[in-house]
Amino acid sequence: MSKNMAPVKRMTVAGRIIHWVNAISIVAAVITGLYIGHPYYQSFIADPAVDKYVMAYNRLIHFVGAIILDVTSIIIAYLYFFSRFEKPYQKVIPNKKNLAEFWEVVVNLFSFNRRKNFDSTHSDSFNTVYFTIFHILLVMMLLTGLQLYVHGLESGLSSVGTWWPALLHLSTDWTLTVFGGNMGVRIAHHTMMWWIIVWTIFHIYYQIWRTIFWKEGDIAIVIGGSKFVKEEEKK
């Protein structure tokens, strides 16, 4: 590390735990979701898949992963506005400073420019807007998924009582109107999965890009919680 570089705390322990829990849950939900939509490996099982509860186990993992994402989404939404460490919502306000940061990063991404004329000790506007869109997609994914789940409870009952299906209908039935019925919700759920995959791939690419071009160790934030910036920026 260069002598004029100093560590800056960018992510708390709680933030890192939420990040990795989300990452694992998304991977589990995608893998099991692909199987639920198109059972692709039951033919490799000697006994009939129904006897091995293959679909049941996949649905269980998918549902547990979704519920974990529900919980972390609520936590992230709270921290988005009320975190004492960093308030991301302030970076999506379209003022002069935020717009300048946003377009600086966009131009650099397309031109492979190493220029950085803004303070990167905290999250920049481009990163925050990207983060916001990603989590909106994630919330929509969860709501459409819960609608598909409650649609299967035709009796209106569940093992935890009638309140659970009633709550899901109340919070997700609007997706039927927006997407044009159950099949539209299913297509939207599947499409958003691919958007989230693309968004995640670009997220990883962008953090590697920042690490290579700006040499500030951004990729290490989700492990150690810190990055490195020039001493004058930290001041």
Question: For 208-223, what is each residue's pLDDT tens digit?
Answer: 888 888 887 888 888 8
Task: Check whether 2 has a pLDDT greater than 60.
Answer: no
The total of structural domains in the chain comes to: 1
Asked if 188 contacts 175 with a C-beta cutoff of 8 angstroms, the reply is yes
Its domain, for residue 122, covers 5-234
Q: How far apart are CA 102 and CA 107, in angstroms?
A: 9
Confidence (pLDDT) at 159 = 67
CA-based nearest residue to 218, from 123, 110, 115, 105: 123
Digit-coded pLDDT (tens) for 77-106: 888 888 877 788 888 888 888 888 888 888
Digit-coded pLDDT (tens) for 112-170: 777 777 777 777 888 889 889 998 999 999 999 999 988 877 666 666 667 888 888 89
Confidence (pLDDT) at 32 = 93
The structure tokens listed for 164 are 């659970």
Q: How many helices (H) and strands (E) does the chain have?
A: 10, 2
The structure tokens listed for 70 are 């529900």
Asked if 141 contacts 193 with a C-beta cutoff of 8 angstroms, the reply is yes
Task: Check whether 64 has a pLDDT greater than 80.
Answer: yes
CA-based nearest residue to 34, from 62, 10, 12: 62
**CATH number of the domain enclosing 230:** 1.20.950.20
φ and ψ at residue 121, rounded to 5 degrees: -70, -20
Confidence (pLDDT) at 198 = 93
Per-residue confidence at 73, pLDDT binned at 50, 70, 90? confident
